[in-house]
Amino acid sequence: MTTKVAGQKLPRYSPLFVFYRVFDRFVQSHFPFALIKRRNPWFDYLVRRLYRRARRLPKRIKRFTFKWGCIVPFAIAAVGCLIAFVARTKYGVLHLSDLAELLMVVGFFGSLGISLFCDMYYAVVTVGRVNLDFYSVQSDLLRITLLAEQDIIAGSYAALQLRLWRPAVFEMAIRAITLFVVELSVVIESYQYRSYPDPYMFSALVIIAAFAVPFVLEPLWRLRTVIGLGLVTAMHISGRTSAYLTAFLGLVAMLIARGVLVVGLGWLFNTILFRTGGYWNENTSDFILFSGIVVGAATFYLFYWFVQAASIRLAVRKLCRGM
């Protein structure tokens, strides 16, 4: 027997609502707390110690991420586009497309340079912290508890991400500013000389958005990967100097692997263009470009995921055998 509650409506699962829930769950999975599937006293202790020693660390990670990784970059990009638009219409000194092209080059290559420094910083902090936690008396006391090895590694892994979250969000903000400026410039220029939008504006925005999502989230993928490499390196090598050198070699190997992926994807895309170029029209070219971006993003995500999973499994195996 079923009863109906007066005034209560069944939820409407519209396609937009389903997309929002899937996207929200995808974004939520990137936060450090999503790695803790059950109660973990070791992680709780590490978080309390972290907030006690680093008082400037944000207490609300989600709010901090959306504020400095999305809202503030959008506000800066909107103000920059408005200044460029006013300067062009009144004084004729700056064109919005020139600003977008300049920021595309500076933001893309600048973020690549910043990512190298961030990777080295992540590796140094991870190796130093793991060396102190697992090669001390505290490690022996931790081993006699009832915590499983998987929970110990997951707690350390999530706590390290929490500690290194701010520089990753800063890198996300730089990339987000660049892409917001590009998208706003496309919208403004499509309405600048006509009362109706440019017919190709929507396809251009979709392609830019498809590139923006993995490009902005890539620092978080790389953060987890570098922490995993540093974690497994420090657990296998007790000497801190040797662990630092090995972690840096791992970063070089990861950089080479990413370069091989870029070259391989570029060769595949170029082959498809060469063989099917005679059958293209405007819609086909947009679809091929969109598909290439999606395939490239999925390839990089799977690469980072595989390195993370392998690092965590090796770290758990090392802890089971003994330090």
Q: Which long-range contacts (CB under 8 A, 24 or more apart) does 144-151 make?
A: 145/41, 145/42, 147/40, 147/41, 147/42, 149/316, 149/319, 149/320, 150/316, 151/38, 151/40, 151/42, 151/43
Q: What is the full per-residue pLDDT of the chain (323 aa) written as tens digits?
A: 444 444 555 455 676 667 667 767 777 778 888 888 888 888 888 888 888 877 777 777 888 888 888 888 888 888 877 776 676 666 555 566 666 667 777 777 778 888 999 999 999 999 999 888 887 656 666 766 778 889 889 999 999 999 999 899 999 988 888 888 877 777 777 766 666 666 677 777 888 888 888 999 999 999 999 999 999 999 888 888 899 999 999 999 999 999 999 899 888 887 877 766 556 666 667 777 888 889 999 999 999 999 999 999 999 998 888 66
The tokens describing 212, both together, are 């923006």
Cα separation, 119 vs 123, in Å, equals: 6
Structural domain contains residue 118: yes
Q: What is the pLDDT of residue 55?
A: 72
The tokens describing 125, both together, are 């902090």
Question: Which residue range(s) make up the domain with 181?
Answer: 37-321
Question: Cβ contacts of residue 294 below 8 Å, gap of 6+?
Answer: 210
Structural domain contains residue 187: yes
- Binning the chain into helix, strand and coil, the percentages to the nearest 5 are 85, 0, 15
Contact 184, 78 (CB under 8 A): yes
Cα separation, 163 vs 171, in Å, equals: 15
Q: What is the pLDDT of residue 191?
A: 66
The tokens describing 182, both together, are 């590009």
Structural domain contains residue 10: no
- Residue among 14, 58, 70 at smallest CA distance from 32: 58
Structural domain contains residue 28: no
Question: Cβ contacts of residue 152 below 8 Å, gap of 6+?
Answer: 42, 142, 319
**What is the domain count for the chain?**
1
- In this structure, is the dihedral angle defined by the CA atoms of residues 278, 281, 284 and 290, taken in order, positive or negative? positive
Structural domain contains residue 311: yes
Structural domain contains residue 127: yes
Instruction: Compute the C-alpha angle 68/122/125, nearest 5°.
Output: 115
Cα separation, 70 vs 64, in Å, equals: 10
Structural domain contains residue 27: no
- Residue among 169, 151, 149, 148 at smallest CA distance from 159: 151
Structural domain contains residue 303: yes
- Residue among 60, 23, 243 at smallest CA distance from 165: 60
